[in-house]
Amino acid sequence: MKLLGRLGLLVVVLGALGVVQPSTSSATSLCLKQLPECGLGNALPVPETVKAEMTNPFAVFAGQDECEIAKLELKTTSNTGPVKPLLAEITALKFESCGSCPTVTALGLVYDAELEALEDSPGPFWHGNGLLKIINPKIKLSGCSPGSFSCTDVASSITLKVTGGPPMVMKVSSAPLSVSGPASCGSSSSLSAEYKVTSQKELWLEPDP
C-alpha cells in the first residue's frame, strides 16, 4: 500500500512538471497560429468557412477520369467538447475541366464532416496536423465517352490528411469508391486529390485552447 501511494504521488509530481501527459486529446479547433499562440485569441470562431483549391495537376478518379480543377468548401458547425472532433459541413465539392467525363457533380450536398487534431508520433506533441473526414460523399460522372454514359461513385466516408501551415494542405490518396453504372464504369474506383486552403493564409488543427 505504501508503494502504491508513493507511485501515485510520483505520477502527480511528474504530471505537474509536464513529464506525464494525458493520452487523450481535448476538442479540436482551427487556429490561425500554432500552440501556444492558438489560445491567445487565434482560434477561429464557430461557425467559420474554409475554402481550398487543388494544388496537384489532377484530381484522379482511378480508371474513370482526371480533372484539372477541384475545389472544396467547408463550414464548421460545432465544437463538441472534450475528446471530440470539430464538426463541419462540406458545402461545396467541385470538379472541373475533366477529361472523358466532362461533367462531375457532387450529389446530395451538404455532407457531414469532422476535423480532428492528432498528436504526432512519437508524442505527445501537437504540430497542427490532423484529419478531415467527409461522410457519405456521392459523386456522379456524366457524359462519359464513348457513348455518353454516367457513373456514380459513393463511399461511407473519405478521409483527408491535414497538414497545418501557411498554407494548410488537405490530401486524399486512393480513397476507395464503390461504383454503380454500366460496365464501362468499372466495379470500383478511388479518389486522389490534394488541396491547399486559400481562405486563410495560415491555418492549423490544434486541441481546443
Residue-number span of the structural domain to which 156 is assigned: 25-207
Which of 33-37, 118-122, 152-156 is modeled with the greatest confidence? 152-156
Domain count, the chain: 1
Average pLDDT, the chain: 85
Q: Is residue 86 part of a domain?
A: yes
CB 28 within 8 Å of CB 130: yes
Q: Does residue 53 lie in a domain region?
A: yes
Asked if the structure places residue 11 within a domain, the reply is: no
Q: Is 164 part of a structural domain of the chain?
A: yes
DSSP assigned state of 71: E
pLDDT tens for residues 93-103?
999 999 999 99
Q: Is residue 19 part of a domain?
A: no
Lowest mean pLDDT among 18-32, 59-73, 131-145, 168-182: 18-32
- The answer to whether 123 touches 207, Cβ cutoff 8 Å, is no
pLDDT score for 109: 97
- Which residues, in sequence order, are CB contacts of 35 under 8 Å at separation 6+? 126, 128, 206, 207, 209
Query: Does 9 reside within a domain?
Result: no
78 assigned to some structural domain: yes
Closest by Cα among 95, 91, 186, 74 to 139: 95
Q: Which residues contact 121 (CB under 8 A, 6 or more apart)?
A: none
64-100: pLDDT as tens digits: 999 999 999 999 998 765 557 999 999 999 999 999 9
Pick the closest to residue 164 from 69, 27, 38 (CA basis).
38
**Is residue 77 situated within a structural domain?**
yes
Burial of 134 (0-12, 13-18, 19+ CB in 10 A): buried
pLDDT at 7 > cutoff 50: no
Q: Is the dihedral of CA 180, 184, 187, 191 positive or negative?
A: negative
Map residue 14 onto helix, strand or coil.
helix
